[in-house]
Structure 1
Amino acid sequence: MRKNFKTLYTRDQIAEQVCRLGGEIDRDYQNREILLVCVLKGSFLFFADLVRAISCPLLVDFVRMASYGCETVSSGIVEMRKDLEFSVTDREVLIVEDIIDTGYTLQSLFHRLLERQPRSLKVCTLLDKRIDRKVPIEADYVGMTLEEGFVVGYGLDYQERYRELPELYIFEDPSSAGEGRPL
């Protein structure tokens, strides 16, 4: 493994949490159809595994939000780069996010979708990182918590790299990695 990476959660730990979350979602929705909204790009691997862990009927859709650019800290300015194809009006909607950090991205998306009048709107996140939270937003379903650090792997990236890593890693001092050039 690269010297700047420290294992945070293994494949088995991730799989166990995804299975637990799927069970909790099944219990809460009790066979009602859910529209699962994947927040691209970081959530795609978690999303795929979670979809397979849920037995309730579901639809899938995707949004793409951006607030980081090429940095490791959110700019606080959130833009929607891809909107949903399905209407959320009068549907059970579950936003699936990779990590809640500052909360800016999730809060922006949550309010945008809430204005479209879903029957219910909840949030599922793989990682909840509370130390940097800037806005009051919470997830209804949380896989794992993270005290601090910048995470890569299992879909999460640094400057579009490292998404393919099968586990979650703390990326220690990404600025010194020598790979920080823009794509």
Structure 2
Amino acid sequence: MDPAPSSSDDPALGEVVVSEADIARRVAELGAEISTDYAARTPLLVGVLKGAFVFMADLARAIDRPVECDFMAVSSYGAATKTSGVVRIVKDLDLDLTGRDVIIVEDIIDSGLTLQYLRRNLLARGPASLEVCALLLREGQQRGDLGLRYVGFSIPPDFVIGYGLDVAERYRNLADVRTYEGAP
């Protein structure tokens, strides 16, 4: 088993964009905000696999209320570093959303096309409410207002890895978010 990569031995790892300490602080703040906003309700966190699994696990623990979790997987990247623009559901939810307070948990929002697709798809399933909690918002890439309720960090439009984000399934285990300096 390969050890976690470090900046000293992997030239593909660039500058730290969001530190581990900043992530921990912001996740705690988001958890507190969601706890307040859903004080009388039990939100259903819908994690978008695979990138959001680390963030969603930490976020769920930071919410001081009962929560339920489900996952779906969508694909618009494959092994590439740029979105194809075509979204497809690879794994659907197990739970019924009818009458539920749903929070989509995303790792990163780029153009917003995947999120727009998810919103339409999940709203058609009859939830009582549908909000979005994204760890990262890549600045200047969105097409229109996405109506994001909870955002961890706005970052430059660089391709980033770590804290769940990957390139061809690598680097998800980094504790911080970094630029990717490898070849696309």
TM-score over 0.5 (shorter chain): yes
2:80 is matched with 71
Q: Within the alignment, does 1:101 sit opposite 2:106 as a pair?
A: no
Structural mapping, 1:124-135, within 5 Å:
124-135=133-144
Q: What is the TM-score of this pair, normalised by structure 2?
A: 0.91
Q: How many residues align?
A: 175
Q: Distance in 1 between matches of 2:132 and 2:91?
A: 19
Amino acid at match of 2:77: Y
Q: What is the TM-score of this pair, normalised by structure 1?
A: 0.92
Identity %: 45
Q: Distance in 2 between matches of 1:114 and 1:135?
A: 19
| Alpha-carbon spacing, 1:31–1:56, altered in 2? closer, same or farther (3 Å) | farther
1:37 is matched with 46
Q: Within the alignment, does 1:137 sit opposite 2:146 as a pair?
A: yes
- Deviation per CA, 1:150-169, whole angstroms, max 9, x where unpaired? 01001000111111111110
Structure 2: runs of 5 or more not aligned: 1-6
Return structure 1 stretches of 4+ with deviation > 3 angstroms: none
Q: Within the alignment, does 1:86 sit opposite 2:99 as a pair?
A: no
- Deviation per CA, 1:9-49, whole angstroms, max 9, x where unpaired? 11110000000000110111113111100000000000000
Structure 1: runs of 5 or more not aligned: none
- Deviation per CA, 1:92-143, whole angstroms, max 9, x where unpaired? 0000000001111111111100011100000000001132213542311000
| Alpha-carbon spacing, 1:70–1:135, altered in 2? closer, same or farther (3 Å) | farther
Aligned-pair Cα RMSD in Å: 1.2
